Amino acid sequence: MKEYLQKYVALRKHNFKVGVKKAKQRKMCYLFLAPYAILFFTFTILPVLTSIYYSFTYYNIFEPARWAGLENYINLILEDDVFITGLKNTLMIAIITGPLGYIASFLFAWLINELPRWIRTIAVIIFYAPSIAGTCYVIFSQLFRGDAYGYVNSYLIEWGIIDAPILWLINPDYMLWICMLVILWMSLGSGFLSFVAGLQGVDQSQYEAGYMDGVKNRWQELWYITLPGMKPMLLFGAIMTITSSFGVSDVCKVLCGYPSTDYAARTIVTHIWDYGFDRFEMGYASAVATILFLMMILCNKAIQSLLRRVGT
């Protein structure tokens, strides 16, 4: 045992020395990275760590934080029914809109890629416009208004499909589905755009080599050539999709009201907002955020291992 330890220590020492030497050789790398690293540390890492620390405290923003151990987490899981509703809704939204949005982003980017230039520009603009348009989704609250002035209701009544207006955004049966529809409409976002740019980086000569080697149809070409060539972009798109589909809140808040009927459109992020900025229980809100963070890390791990299998 002792011998083993000694060897281990020696190996560690050696590795460390090699590392230091390498680092000295690559001084310029650190120089290039330093400006970004400093900003990133100050404005992202430090706040994230502070928030995780707050999650173990009672902190109401006005008084200094008081250590509370696991109290927030215990309350969260055992006593907070609204959180469980929010968790359910968030998972539902993420499981339905996440994969659909991700696949649609890639599919559309891929189809658009083979179009002639000018059509392609127009197509990219049409598909990306919903995400670029900021708060344009507000328009859906007019489309789905609950009274007969709402466009959807008015047309459905005119066509005789329903005879009384449906409270799309107030009835808990419909709320979440309408939100998902809007989220799907907006889901061709940063992932889509990076796919569009990334598809142009795929080596054209590989396609030609593919014809020679007998790639028979577009689907084989997609699986064996395009997708493996796009791996870095696919990873980027996956992380973007995770952050957006788990982070849904504004759409639900704007369309279904805040708070929504029976909390039927409450998501985890809405819950964070509620506790953090309306009830000023920052410690509790941070605990919710930390749980969301852990969920997203797990999801990211799973997706990364799936993506590793692409093209094999």
Partner 1 sequence: MSKKQKTPKQPKPYKKKLIKRRKPNRSIWGDIFLYLFLALAAIIMAFPIVFAIENALKPLDELYRFPPKFFAQNPTLDNFADLFVSMGKSWVTFPRYIFNTVFVTALGTAGHLIIASMGAFVLAKYDFPGGKLFFKIVTTAMLFNGTVLGIPQYVIMNKLNLIDSYWALIIPAIGGTLGFFLMKQFMEGLPMALIEAAKIDGANEWMVFSKIVMPNVKPAWLTLIIFSVQALWNNGGTQFIYSEEKKMLAFALNQVAAGSIARTGQQAAVNVVLMIVPIAIFILSQSQILETMASSGLKD
For residues 150 and 143, what is the distance between their CA atoms, to the nearest angstrom? 5
What are the residues whose beta carbons fall under 8 Å from the beta carbon of 94, sequence distance 6 or more?
242, 245, 246, 248, 299
Near partner 1 by CB under 8 A: residue from 10, 33, 84, 306:
33
What are the residues whose beta carbons fall under 8 Å from the beta carbon of 225, sequence distance 6 or more?
202, 206, 207, 210, 215
Stretch that binds partner 1, among 40-48, 68-76, 161-169, 254-262 (CB under 8 A): 40-48
For residues 116 and 121, what is the distance between their CA atoms, to the nearest angstrom? 9
Near partner 1 by CB under 8 A: residue from 7, 13, 14, 26:
26
Q: Which residues of 182-196 are buried (b: 16+ CB within 10 A; e: fewer)?
A: bbbbbbbbbbbbbbb
- Residue 305 near partner 1 by CB under 8 A: no
Stretch 53-92 residues interacting with partner 1 (CB under 8 A)? 54, 61
Among 245, 264, 241, smallest CA distance to 253 is for 264
Q: Closest separation between CB of residue 250 and partner 1, Å?
A: 11
**Distance of alpha carbon 100 from its chain centroid, rounded?**
13
Stretch 162-181 residues interacting with partner 1 (CB under 8 A)? none
Largest pairwise CA distance in the chain: 86
For residues 14 and 7, what is the distance between their CA atoms, to the nearest angstrom? 10
Nearer of residues 6 and 121 to partner 1, judged by Cβ: 121
Near partner 1 by CB under 8 A: residue from 100, 130, 258, 311:
130
- Residue 28 near partner 1 by CB under 8 A: yes
Stretch 205-234 residues interacting with partner 1 (CB under 8 A)? 205, 207, 211, 215-218, 220-221, 232-233
Near partner 1 by CB under 8 A: residue from 86, 98, 101, 198:
198
Residue 286: CB atoms within 10 Å: 25
Q: Is 284 in contact with 75 (CB distance < 8 Å)? A: yes
Near partner 1 by CB under 8 A: residue from 9, 10, 11, 45:
45
Q: Closest separation between CB of residue 3 and partner 1, Å?
A: 28
- Residue 102 near partner 1 by CB under 8 A: no
Among 192, 198, 199, smallest CA distance to 128 is for 192
| CA torsion, ordered 129, 134, 136, 138, to nearest 10 deg | 150
Near partner 1 by CB under 8 A: residue from 138, 162, 302, 310:
138
Near partner 1 by CB under 8 A: residue from 142, 306, 308, 310:
142
Near partner 1 by CB under 8 A: residue from 169, 175, 272, 303:
272
Write phi, then psi, for 67 (nearest 5 degrees): -60, 130
SS3 state at 67: strand
- Residue 286 near partner 1 by CB under 8 A: yes
N-terminal to C-terminal alpha carbon distance within the chain: 43
Nearer of residues 6 and 294 to partner 1, judged by Cβ: 294
- Residue 247 near partner 1 by CB under 8 A: yes
Stretch that binds partner 1, among 6-14, 76-84, 165-173, 294-302 (CB under 8 A): 294-302
Near partner 1 by CB under 8 A: residue from 83, 102, 108, 263:
108
Q: Closest separation between CB of residue 40 and partner 1, Å?
A: 5
Near partner 1 by CB under 8 A: residue from 70, 103, 126, 302:
126
